[in-house]
A and B are shown apart, each in its own frame.
Chain A
Amino acid sequence: MKVGLYLHVPFCRRKCAYCDFVSYPAATADTAGYVRAVQTEITRRGEAVRDRLTLAGLYVGGGTPTVLTADALAAILATVRRHFHWPENLEATVEANPETVCLSGLEKLRRSGINRISIGMQAAQDSLLAVLGRGHRFADVRAAVRAARRAGYTNLNLDLISGIPGQTLRDWRRTLAAALALEPEHIAAYSLEIPPGSVLAVRLARGELPAVPEEEAYEMFQTTREVLVKAGFEHYEIANFARPGYACRHNLIYWMNEPYLGFGPAAHSHWNGCRWANEKDPAVYAARLAAGEWPVAEREELDLVTQMGETMFLGLRLRRGVGREQFRRRFGLDLETVYGAGISRLKEQGLLEEQDGYLRLTERGLPVANVVFENFVGGAFCVSKPPSAGGAAVGAT
């Protein structure tokens, strides 16, 4: 049995202006307590599973994982090794902010099994980095990439953000060019989401910053694809681009709706037909573990229709799309049986297409993917026959 493993480090040196994610200031955090608690959770989960699980992907995210010392991270990874089978070729990623990495730390992580590094570059313009409230300048990115290469990382991702208030299409082209110049194996190009209540949302509302018009955001989205594909990257997911063979394996687990276990405060898991989320507050998280409980805040058992819907809207994020055969094997039902009417309507609208047995978004469907996705949630179009018993054994144990 294979499983993805996600480790959440909920600390940051500072909070970015667009962040509404779970993170706590690193300076005042009880990081030692956090490490102990995570080790407890990993150990207990490992012991709870009868057969030793093989890792299909490992990802350390945050927050800013690199605010922990390399030794602390290595200690956690050692615990992972004790309870899970860590195959030779496992892709193991750590997210890093450029200003938090140093050569010795990167080397230590490399020795503890990390072989992929994801650097939050975001933009090539220091003024835009300031708008985002990032703690680094572009020069730090260059230095971080150089350090990573020297430490032996041959699989490197750069995170980029488009649609930053004040960003022009030209700024964005320069950012893409600057990223390509650093020769990463992988680029994740997200468009900025501004959660209500974040610093950016407030500044936009006050009129201190100009919002990027939708038409411009659309142009940026299309430009990204043009530029990166031309540079030899494969566009394999809505926001993700990779050199051949470098698609992020851990993220593929999410998009293919496969099981993963998340450890740490606020980490999410998908296992055995259930999704759960851990307690967000590191203190509460640690306390519940100390009390001998699971640190789970919310848990949801997924019925078959929900599982099918998630498989659809996650799978359609991939350029390849959702495989008819894979869907049938997993659920014992044909795609047409469940979503026939909707699929043909979306095809008619030019938003979905069929290629080599896969159902996928068209070029036109890509930028408005949410409009397609919503058709697969909140109940199916028509489940015309009850799913067979054989189909119910889904993606678990």
Chain B
Amino acid sequence: MHAKRERIRNFCIIAHIDHGKSTLADRLLEYTGALTGRKMQEQVLDTMDLERERGITIKLQAVRLRYRSRDGGEYQLNLIDTPGHVDFSYEVSRSLAACEGALLVVDASQGIEAQTLANVYLALDHNLAIIPVINKIDLPSADPDRVRRELEDVIGLDGNTAILASAKVGIGVGEILERIVQDIPPPAGASTAPLRALIFDSHYDAYKGVITYVRVVDGRLEPGMPIRLMATGGEFEVSEIGIFTPAPVTVPALQAGEVGFVAAGIKNVKDCRVGDTITAVRQPAAAPLPGYRRVKPMVYCGLYPVDGAEFGRLRDALDRLSLNDASLVYEPESSLALGFGFRCGFLGLLHMEIIQERLEREYGLDLITTAPSVVYRVTRTNGTVTEIQNPAQVPPAQEIARMEEPFVLASIMLPQDYIGPVMELCQGRRGVFRNMEYIGPQRVLITYELPLSEIIYDFFDRLKSSTRGYASLDYDYLGYREAKLVRVDILVSGERLDALSIIVHRDKAYERSRVIVEQLRDLIPRHTFEVVIQAAIGQKVIARERIKALRKNVLDKCYGGDVTRKRKLLERQKEGKKRMKQVGHVNIPQEAFMSVLSVGENKR
């Protein structure tokens, strides 16, 4: 069962969304006989519905392929899937660390995109052998020569070594497999050394507990072995070891260089974090593998059940989701306006949207989501530093010495025709221009330093619409920087709606506030009294709108004693309000709590 180390190749596929990674994975599986025909669903590596719908891979998996190469040798190829989105860049780095090589898949018409580039740089950092694949060459718009030049100009790869392929129609698949064997080095490491296995993913199984996906770097993993997780310190006994073919199959052991899964009766994914090193309790390794880091959520928002009675169900659902998602954090909080809910932390906006959708779709919950916020750092006049995940927690202005917010280095790749609008967008988002370089005759890479908070306010949508969808974005965290930030409160008929408070840059407070109060004016129904909506910084009102009072709403006739019809009418009227939250005497619809989100330049 075990291949000699020289006959093992561990690789992943780096590609931009829609450039054909999943289709190529399918072809590799088919070609090597891991998949016969279409008996499995298309794109087997993307397991969750949501992933398939959005065309994004969230969960990594590892598949072992058996390939007999042209030199007659039989090879064990381990394909490790990677997520494609910037939210999950740490996970990407861990799965790259489990490989010795990567297929770089680039769309023959579209060329290199920002995310691809970011991941290629990550791969190069890990000294991975890169095999460029120009995919979709069967399309009439394919321009492989241009992509070759891009590979040379931007990444410095030899464009002539790129394989021309079409995963869809099966062109180039044989050559890709052959090149994996030739170009990617076999894994280093010694089976006799103390065990060190890198965890690059995990998932929760109701029967076996947490299943960790590992790459054994040194030593050997066997069932019955007591193991220790070096970062979290937890000790467990291995109950099962296996590989994916792609169906899970148990194996007697995993040797240095091999990839597979381990079950050890671990109850919680938080006990075995991605990037941690598994070692043996009896003969432990001296040091863990490098690169482990605790991922911290970058974006927070409040999640509240529309119906307060659903709080328990929401908690259960979050508990359940977090079994499979160590990066999802949540803790109960309460809002005067929304009652009891949770403040949840996510790796990024996509991660947040995915969790929200799963809660609503899989658990049938009706949720109110507050506008996402980044984590601000507040230094008080007494010197204490607090991290603020919820604008409602900002201390009074006189207690604040300074405020800082996270900045990112954003890389945007776009056709040169759109340079103007994109720079304008970044400038409008308090961006600091860093660099611009041509990566081909038509395409440009622009880098900007941007506050993360500006990116989470519909930046993607703006970017897409100002470049007709041709731009791509990636970003890296730069750290915290001081900024002139203020908290804007929203008051409805004099009562502060804590769930609507936002933290914004002082220069933008007026504009944002104006748009929010206008949106609320349109969303909140009329009441029997005038409703006044205000935005205020401290005591100072900076924007104001009013909703005129309802003057007349009365059912007149009672035709022939049809009381039932009247009652049903009133019941419907009331039902409409049930989906609203009552603050003071004012009914506020769910959408209102998201209105701060869509505060783009849409109303300008």
Q: Which residues of A contact B (CB under 8 A)?
A: 4, 6, 8, 21, 61, 190-191, 193, 214-215, 217-218, 221, 238-239, 251, 254-255, 257, 260, 262, 266-270, 275, 277, 298, 300, 306, 309-310, 313-314, 345, 348-349, 351, 364-371, 373-378
User: Would B560 and A366 count as touching, CB distance under 8 A?
Assistant: no
User: Would A21 and B559 count as touching, CB distance under 8 A?
Assistant: yes
Of A309, A313, A368, A376, the residue contacting B550 (CB under 8 A) is A368
Q: Closest B-chain residue to A314, C-beta based?
A: B563
User: Interface digits, B533-552 against A, CB 8 Å rule (1 contact, 0 not)?
Assistant: 00000000000000000111
User: Would A349 and B564 count as touching, CB distance under 8 A?
Assistant: no
How far is it, in angstroms, between the C-alpha of A10 and the C-alpha of B552 when the chains are bound?
31
User: Would B554 and A368 count as touching, CB distance under 8 A?
Assistant: yes
Name the segment of B65-73, B92-100, B570-578 touching the other chain: B570-578
List the A side residues contacting B564 at CB < 8 Å: 268, 275, 277, 298, 300
User: Would A270 and B528 count as touching, CB distance under 8 A?
Assistant: no
How far is it, in angstroms, between the C-alpha of A369 and the C-alpha of B564 when the chains are bound?
17
User: Would A349 and B570 count as touching, CB distance under 8 A?
Assistant: no
Of B556, B560, B574, the residue contacting A268 (CB under 8 A) is B560
Q: Closest B-chain residue to A10, C-beta based?
A: B560
List the B side residues contacting A221 at CB < 8 Å: 552, 554
Q: How far is the CB of A134 from chain B (nearest CB, A)?
A: 16
User: Would B528 and A218 count as touching, CB distance under 8 A?
Assistant: no
User: Would A367 and B575 count as touching, CB distance under 8 A?
Assistant: no
User: Would A374 and B570 count as touching, CB distance under 8 A?
Assistant: yes
Answer yes or no: B585 CB below 8 A from chain A CBs.
yes
Between B566, B567, B573, B577, the greatest number of chain A beta carbons within 10 A of the residue's beta carbon is seen for: B567
List the A side residues contacting B527 at CB < 8 Å: 371
Q: How far is the CB of B15 from chain A (nearest CB, A)?
A: 52
List the A side residues contacting B559 at CB < 8 Å: 21, 61
Q: How far is the CB of B557 from chain A (nearest CB, A)?
A: 6
Of B553, B563, B570, the residue contacting A368 (CB under 8 A) is B553
Answer yes or no: B286 CB below 8 A from chain A CBs.
no
User: Would A310 and B561 count as touching, CB distance under 8 A?
Assistant: no
List the B side residues contacting A300 at CB < 8 Å: 564
Of B551, B557, B573, B577, the residue contacting A190 (CB under 8 A) is B557
Of B561, B562, B571, the residue contacting A377 (CB under 8 A) is B571
List the B side residues contacting A277 at CB < 8 Å: 562, 564
Q: Closest B-chain residue to A191, C-beta based?
A: B556
List the A side residues contacting B470 at CB < 8 Å: none
User: Would A309 and B556 count as touching, CB distance under 8 A?
Assistant: no
How far is it, in angstroms, between the C-alpha of A351 and the C-alpha of B550 when the chains are bound?
13
Answer yes or no: B206 CB below 8 A from chain A CBs.
no
What are 25 of the A-B contact pairs (CB < 8 Å)?
Answer: A4-B561, A191-B554, A193-B555, A214-B550, A217-B552, A221-B554, A239-B556, A257-B563, A267-B560, A268-B560, A268-B561, A277-B562, A309-B567, A310-B563, A364-B528, A366-B554, A368-B550, A368-B551, A369-B553, A370-B554, A371-B553, A373-B570, A377-B567, A378-B570, A378-B575
User: Would B528 and A6 count as touching, CB distance under 8 A?
Assistant: no
User: Would B567 and A6 count as touching, CB distance under 8 A?
Assistant: no
Of A6, A270, A369, A377, the residue contacting B574 (CB under 8 A) is A377
How far is it, in angstroms, between the C-alpha of A351 and the C-alpha of B566 when the chains are bound?
20
Q: How far is the CB of B354 from chain A (nearest CB, A)?
A: 35
Q: How far is the CB of A153 from chain B (nearest CB, A)?
A: 22
User: Interface digits, B67-81 against A, CB 8 Å rule (1 contact, 0 not)?
Assistant: 000000000000000
How far is it, in angstroms, between the C-alpha of A166 and the C-alpha of B28 when the chains are bound?
74
Q: How far is the CB of B414 from chain A (nearest CB, A)?
A: 46
List the B side residues contacting A298 at CB < 8 Å: 564
Q: Closest B-chain residue to A375, C-beta based?
A: B574
Q: Closest B-chain residue to A313, C-beta based?
A: B570
User: Would A193 and B561 count as touching, CB distance under 8 A?
Assistant: no
List the A side residues contacting B550 at CB < 8 Å: 214, 368, 371
How far is it, in angstroms, between the C-alpha of A193 and the C-alpha of B554 when the chains are bound?
10
Q: How far is the CB of B575 from chain A (nearest CB, A)?
A: 7
Q: How far is the CB of A243 from chain B (nearest CB, A)?
A: 21
How far is it, in angstroms, between the C-alpha of A61 and the C-alpha of B570 when the chains are bound?
24
User: Interface digits, B565-589 against A, CB 8 Å rule (1 contact, 0 not)?
Assistant: 0110011011101000000010000
List the A side residues contacting B560 at CB < 8 Å: 6, 8, 61, 262, 266-268
User: Would A310 and B557 count as touching, CB distance under 8 A?
Assistant: no
Q: Closest A-chain residue to B567, C-beta based?
A: A377
Q: How far is the CB of B101 from chain A (nearest CB, A)?
A: 64
How far is it, in angstroms, between the C-alpha of A375 and the C-alpha of B563 when the chains are bound?
16
Of A239, A270, A306, A375, the residue contacting B561 (CB under 8 A) is A270
How far is it, in angstroms, between the C-alpha of A61 and the C-alpha of B559 when the chains are bound?
9
Given A313-B567, A377-B571, also A368-B552 (CB < 8 A): yes
How far is it, in angstroms, between the C-alpha of A61 and the C-alpha of B557 when the chains are bound?
13
List the A side residues contacting B556 at CB < 8 Å: 190-191, 193, 238-239
List the A side residues contacting B552 at CB < 8 Å: 191, 214, 217-218, 221, 367-368
Q: Closest A-chain residue to B551, C-beta based?
A: A218
How far is it, in angstroms, between the C-alpha of A217 and the C-alpha of B559 when the chains are bound?
21
Q: How far is the CB of B25 from chain A (nearest CB, A)?
A: 53
Q: Closest B-chain residue to A373, C-beta based?
A: B570
Q: How far is the CB of A362 from chain B (nearest CB, A)?
A: 11
List the A side residues contacting B573 at CB < 8 Å: 370, 374
User: Would B574 and A275 count as touching, CB distance under 8 A?
Assistant: no
The 10 closest A-B pairs by CB, nearest first: A218-B551, A374-B574, A190-B556, A369-B554, A268-B561, A218-B552, A377-B570, A370-B553, A378-B571, A368-B528
List the A side residues contacting B570 at CB < 8 Å: 313, 370, 373-374, 376-378
Answer yes or no: B309 CB below 8 A from chain A CBs.
no
Answer yes or no: B121 CB below 8 A from chain A CBs.
no
How far is it, in angstroms, between the C-alpha of A220 and the C-alpha of B563 when the chains are bound?
26
User: Would A215 and B551 count as touching, CB distance under 8 A?
Assistant: yes
User: Would A371 and B528 count as touching, CB distance under 8 A?
Assistant: yes
How far is it, in angstroms, between the C-alpha of A366 and the C-alpha of B560 when the chains are bound?
22
Q: How far is the CB of A145 from chain B (nearest CB, A)?
A: 22
How far is it, in angstroms, between the C-alpha of A193 and the C-alpha of B562 when the chains are bound?
15
Q: How far is the CB of B555 from chain A (nearest CB, A)?
A: 6
Q: Closest A-chain residue to B557, C-beta based?
A: A190
Q: How far is the CB of B336 from chain A (nearest CB, A)?
A: 17
- B511-538 contacts to A, CB under 8 A, are 527-529
User: Would B553 and A268 count as touching, CB distance under 8 A?
Assistant: no
User: Would B551 and A367 count as touching, CB distance under 8 A?
Assistant: yes
User: Would B574 and A378 count as touching, CB distance under 8 A?
Assistant: yes
Between A275, A300, A373, the greatest number of chain B beta carbons within 10 A of the residue's beta carbon is seen for: A373
